[in-house]
Structure 1
Amino acid sequence: MGEKPIGATKVKIVPIADEHWDQLPDIHRAAILAVPNKFHDRTARESWAHGLIPEGYKQSAQDGEVFFVALDENDCPIGFSGHRGYEMTALFVAPEHQHKGVATALYNRTISEILKGRPEKIVLTSSHPALGFYEKQGFIAVQEREEITRGGAFILVFDMEAPVNRPPHEGRELDLMLGGRKKIAYFGDNDPEETFRPYVISEQIKRYVWQERADYLQQLFKESGQLDIVPVAPVIYYLPQYEAEKDRLVTLLRKHMIEGEHDLREELEMSELLGYPSYAVKAFLERMRAMRQN
């Protein structure tokens, strides 16, 4: 993983190495103790941070938890994340490096790894102070509960999930567009042409058929001997004032889905154009990469 600019600094996200284990408890403890009093008082924070030792993380790794570490420009750990299967299990950043994009960089790397397994959904349990961050990423709180900490005190947590096996706006695209809350809608298949037709005729919404994608898939199928498969051309609906944004989306889709180029910043740009949380575009592109490899 290359270096990523974060504000005025640079950070590298790497798999955890032997020399990192001893520093995880300090990062973890400092991040917890820096939580504002409006979320948890000092007693609750100290209970939450109780008993953190390197062996605990090592044991978790032996049980299947995968850790990534954020390194600053001097290769010093400043944050870490963890996941097990399709669950994100940890995300902590040293207080002096918070609000600089480090957590987002760790999150993006972890989510990318989870999506390689093509899950139907991603789950996590969020503390109260992290709730807003995960909601911004598109996660939905499905349960609020009290959880006991290592020191015995209870704190408020939220069980959250992000569905991956369907588009986040499924069935709501037209309403969102008519309400001005969505610029562009992409349909790889199951084009809702009948539903959109009155608004296309009245020119409230425009329709674009991305034939280039279908032609590309047709050539792939021909080369693999699958002559009986006729690919469907994706369809893009967009509000008339966003013609340039539609063209930009097609350019980005071409780079990722035909030319095979991958760029995190462009994934995030696609997320913004479609109004999707970033994980949804990552999941979509991961499915397209898997299709290309097969």
Structure 2
Amino acid sequence: MKFELPPEIGPHEGREYQLMLAGLKKVALFEILPSDFLENKSRLDIKYLYPDEYNTIAYIKGGEFDAAKLSELIKYQQDIRCVDEATEYAIGEILGYSKHEVKCFLEHCKAIKNANERAIHSEHLANEQRGA
């Protein structure tokens, strides 16, 4: 199943660099750093944190505290090995998402998890019926 954000979320995705350039966003989180950040044609003073091997936090002046807090929250989520809704709301707030957008995101994640669990269960039942 492909992970796509629900339409209620956004419009940050793919626009983080422009939002930072306009001063509307101080912190962004990526698994893969977009090319506009790598190229940095407008010469933004972008700093980076790497809370783990999967995530990169990009931030500009004024976003230092929030970037550090975001890094701590990501590490916390990994330590507890589950989705903690209060932590997700804190992460969403740092990234500029509304509570409604975070709620939609969490509902979307739960739906994907449930679909994956159903698929695994169905596969397990099919294997049992085949005698595997």
TM-score, scaled relative to structure 2: 0.61
Which of these residues, 38, 41, 45, is aligned with residue 204 of structure 1? 45
Aligned to 2:8: 162
Which of these residues, 36, 39, 56, is aligned with residue 195 of structure 1? 36
Relative to structure 1, the CA distance from residue 283 to residue 252 in structure 2 (aligned partners, 3 Å threshold; closer, same or farther) is farther
Aligned to 1:236: 57
Kindly state the Cα deviation for residue 175 of structure 1 after the two structures are TM-superposed.
0.6
Superposed counterparts of 1:213-228, under 5 Å: 214=53
Quick one: distance in 2 between partners of 1:243 and 1:254?
Answer: 17
Which of these residues, 174, 177, 182, is aligned with residue 17 of structure 2? 174
Higher helix share: 2
User: Residue 23 of structure 2: SS of its match in structure 1?
Assistant: coil
Quick one: distance in 2 between partners of 1:254 and 1:284?
Answer: 22
Letter aligned with residue 275 of structure 1: G
1:279 aligns with 2:103: yes
Superposed counterparts of 1:13-32, under 5 Å: none
Quick one: distance in 2 between partners of 1:183 and 1:284?
Answer: 26
Letter aligned with residue 28 of structure 2: A
Higher Cα Rg, which structure: 1
Kindly state the Cα deviation for residue 239 of structure 1 after the two structures are TM-superposed.
1.3
Identity within the alignment, %: 27
Kindly state the Cα deviation for residue 202 of structure 1 after the two structures are TM-superposed.
4.3
User: Residue 162 of structure 1: SS of its match in structure 2?
Assistant: coil
C-alpha distance after superposition, 1:83-129 (max 9, x if no partner): xxxxxxxxxxxxxxxxxxxxxxxxxxxxxxxxxxx98566xxxxxxx
Relative to structure 1, the CA distance from residue 269 to residue 196 in structure 2 (aligned partners, 3 Å threshold; closer, same or farther) is same
Higher strand share: 1
Superposed counterparts of 1:1-294, under 5 Å: 120=4, 161-162=7-8, 168-189=11-32, 191-192=33-34, 194-197=35-38, 199=40, 202=43, 204-210=45-51, 212=52, 214=53, 233-276=54-97, 277-279=101-103, 281-282=105-106
Length, aligned pairs only: 112
Aligned to 1:10: none
Letter aligned with residue 279 of structure 1: K
Letter aligned with residue 174 of structure 1: Y
Quick one: distance in 2 between partners of 1:270 and 1:179?
Answer: 21
User: Residue 240 of structure 1: SS of its match in structure 2?
Assistant: coil
- Please give the root-mean-square deviation of Cα atoms over the aligned residues, in Å: 3.8
User: Residue 186 of structure 1: SS of its match in structure 2?
Assistant: strand
Quick one: distance in 2 between partners of 1:270 and 1:284?
Answer: 16
Q: Report which structure shows greater RCO (CA 8 Å, sep ≥6).
A: 2
TM-score, scaled relative to structure 1: 0.31
